[in-house]
Amino acid sequence: MTNKYMYFVANWKMFGGVKSLNSLDKVIKFLRSFKKKNFIKIVYCPPNTLIDLMVKKLKKTKIYVGAQNCHESEKFGAFTGSVNPMMLKNVGARYVIIGHSEIREKGETNKIINLKIHNALKSGLKVIFCIGETSSEKKNKMTKNVLNKQIKFGLDRIRNNKSIIIAYEPVWAIGSGIIPKTNELLETVEFIKKKTKNIKVLYGGSVNPKNIHRLNLIDNLDGYLIGGASQESKKFIDIIKKTYN
């Protein structure tokens, strides 16, 4: 239970076609009558194929749209299969997720992430910057070291902290059904805030309506990045309701 301003970011990953947009009707309706609507910011990050349609659908609502990744180049270029931040902004995206572990795993380095963040901010997008340790890094007590490095290099020479939100997503928690222990998460969020001079911090990794009450005990969190559970409007709405009631 909270009275704080909270972000609820939906990461649809590689799921959804045009018909999936109908599922937003429930969320739009819910938000209209939700008493705490001025406390919350909902951001949907669908696959790029749905951004334009989703922006149009949500035009008269207070629900925002973001992308799940972008290319690091600020200009057009011969980069087959890629989309840069300017192109995302052009179709109405307001946010972009950068540094997600599913992309880091494919070879995205802290240096590339840093360039992506620079150019996304330059294009006027807000950045949801993902950081998190793997299970072996956690076992070897390297969590703080890893996060420190990801923050230091990822945010190198970035001045515009106000347009950045950090999503702490332990890699071992994503899609596993497991969430961190309350005291561990509290301590990690505190560590991230100290290192970043108080950038907002979201938690991501297996957030669902059943465990949200445990996560809501962490009062220094500024919201959640929700993968699997965000694809079902009922679950997504339940997570929001349970955070405020």
Element (H, E) at 98: strand 95-98
Instruction: State which residue, 72 or 169, has the beta carbon closest to ligand PEP.
Output: 169
Handedness of CA 4, 226, 229, 24 (dihedral sign): positive
Instruction: State which residue, 124 or 175, has the beta carbon closest to ligand PEP.
Output: 175
Give the residue nearest to ligand PEP (CB). Answer: 227
Smallest separation (angstroms) from ligand PEP to the CB of 161: 22
Distance of CA 205 to the CA centre of its chain: 10
Q: Indicate which residue of 100, 102, 118, 133 is catalytic.
A: 100
Element (H, E) at 88: helix 85-90
Instruction: State which residue, 85 or 99, has the beta carbon closest to ligand PEP.
Output: 99
Q: Which residues pair with 201 in a beta bridge?
A: 166
Smallest separation (angstroms) from ligand PEP to the CB of 14: 11
Smallest separation (angstroms) from ligand PEP to the CB of 34: 22
Q: Indicate which residue of 72, 108, 133, 169 is catalytic.
A: 169
Spatial CB neighbours of 47, under 8 Å, sequence gap ≥ 6: 12, 13, 14, 15, 16, 68
Instruction: State which residue, 86 or 203, has the beta carbon closest to ligand PEP.
Output: 203
- Asked if 129 and 165 touch (Cβ cutoff 8 Å), the reply is yes
Smallest separation (angstroms) from ligand PEP to the CB of 11: 4
Residue 97 burial class via C-beta count within 10 angstroms: exposed 0-12, middle 13-18, buried 19 and up: buried
Tell me, yes or no, if 169 is annotated catalytic. yes
Residues that bind ligand PEP (CB under 6 A): 11, 169, 174-175, 204-207, 225-229
- Asked if 112 and 149 touch (Cβ cutoff 8 Å), the reply is no
Tell me which residues are annotated as active site.
Answer: 100, 169
